[in-house]
Structure 1
Amino acid sequence: MALTPSNMLPLGTKAPDFSLIDTKDNQLKSLNELKGEVGTLVMFICNHCPFVIHVNAELVKLANDFKPKGINCIAISSNDVDNYPQDGPDKMKTHAEENHYPFPYLYDETQDIAKAYDAACTPDFFLFDRDLKLVYAGQLDDSRPGNDIPVTGKDLRAAMKALLNNEAIDPNQKPSMGCNIKWK
């Protein structure tokens, strides 16, 4: 696993549009139909990355905590499934069920959406406001596999709470860290 930081897409960037298959129900879903009333969190994840596995429970908790408040979460996997078959759509569906994902788990087969978001690693987080303008592109928290820091989601949670309360979000954001996206 290559430790890779996120690319830190500039704040204020408009969320690139997409329509992708949700592996949970095999239905085509668009950003417009999945976005939240207050905000939208787009997360690039995958099944096998130890960094994602390390935070899976917190991602589920985060989504369950904020969806009722108007911030929807969307997960996208963009990994090359020819070389990483454990990240294929059939395994994504099983993974989503086993982890009780309360959010759609979309498959970016062409990797065009990951490129449009300038996603670099898993997990990679992009929080957008109600107008789909980027307000946060940073880490979940300081926890990493093996560093003995508890997973709390504090950095991303603080940004989501600020968005809910119409407060300024600190523009000094630490990049997310994880495995690189497996490009074709």
Structure 2
Amino acid sequence: MSRTPSNMLPLGTTAPNFKLLDTVSGKMLSLAELKSDKATVIMFICNHCPFVKHIDDGIVALAKDYQSKGVSFIAISSNDIENYPQDSPDLMKVEAEKVGYTFPYLYDETQEVAKAYQAACTPDFYLFDAELKCVYRGQLDDSRPGNGQPVTGKDLRSALDCVLNNKGVDSEQRPSLGCNIKWKVS
């Protein structure tokens, strides 16, 4: 298991636009279609990463708790499927249905979206406010495979609560840690 930290996109950055294949519905979906007028969470994940598998249930619980409050959740996989076929769109759909994702699971075939967001690892989390300005980026919580910490989502939950209550999000944020995004070899 590699242990790659987030690059920590500068706070205040406007969310880069995209239009990607939703592996569950088979439709091309854009950020403009998926964003919320309250808050939008974008997460870079993949099927095979043990760091993602470790928090999958926590991601599902978080989304269920906050979608009812008007928050939009979007998952994106940007891994090179030639060398990591377990992350292919067909298997992404299977994984989303198995785990119970209640949000789109998009495939970034060109990896341009991951580059635009400066995503480095899976999982990598970003929270954007109503104006699509980055107010949080980094970890879900302190839990990692094997460290004995419970998956609570406390870091992202705290940031979401601040946004929903019109309070500033603490700028002291911890990077996520996970498997590196599997970049294509040019």
TM class, shorter-length: over 0.9
SS for the counterpart of 2:68 is: helix
> What is residue 31 of structure 1 aligned with on the other side?
31
Alignment of 1:113-152 (within 5 A): 113-152=113-152
Aligned equivalents of 2:134, 2:89: Cα separation in 1: 28
How far off its partner does 1:60 sit?
Answer: 0.5
Unaligned stretches of 5+ residues in structure 2: none
Deviations 1:82-115 (A, max 9, x none): 0000000000000000001000000000000000
SS for the counterpart of 2:162 is: helix
Aligned equivalents of 1:16, 1:50: Cα separation in 2: 27
How far off its partner does 1:36 sit?
Answer: 1.2
Q: Is 1:5 matched with 2:5?
A: yes
Aligned equivalents of 1:14, 1:27: Cα separation in 2: 24
Deviations 1:24-43 (A, max 9, x none): 01100000000012010000
- With normalisation by structure 2, the TM-score equals 0.98
SS for the counterpart of 1:73 is: strand
> What is residue 156 of structure 2 aligned with on the other side?
156
Residue 13 of structure 2 aligns with an amino acid whose one-letter code is T
Aligned equivalents of 1:23, 1:7: Cα separation in 2: 26
Q: Is 1:169 matched with 2:169?
A: yes
Aligned equivalents of 2:137, 2:173: Cα separation in 1: 7
How far off its partner does 1:2 sit?
Answer: 1.1
Aligned equivalents of 2:167, 2:76: Cα separation in 1: 28
Cα-Cα RMSD: 0.5
SS for the counterpart of 1:136 is: strand
Aligned equivalents of 2:123, 2:176: Cα separation in 1: 7
How far off its partner does 1:64 sit?
Answer: 0.7
Unaligned stretches of 5+ residues in structure 1: none
Residue 113 of structure 2 aligns with an amino acid whose one-letter code is I
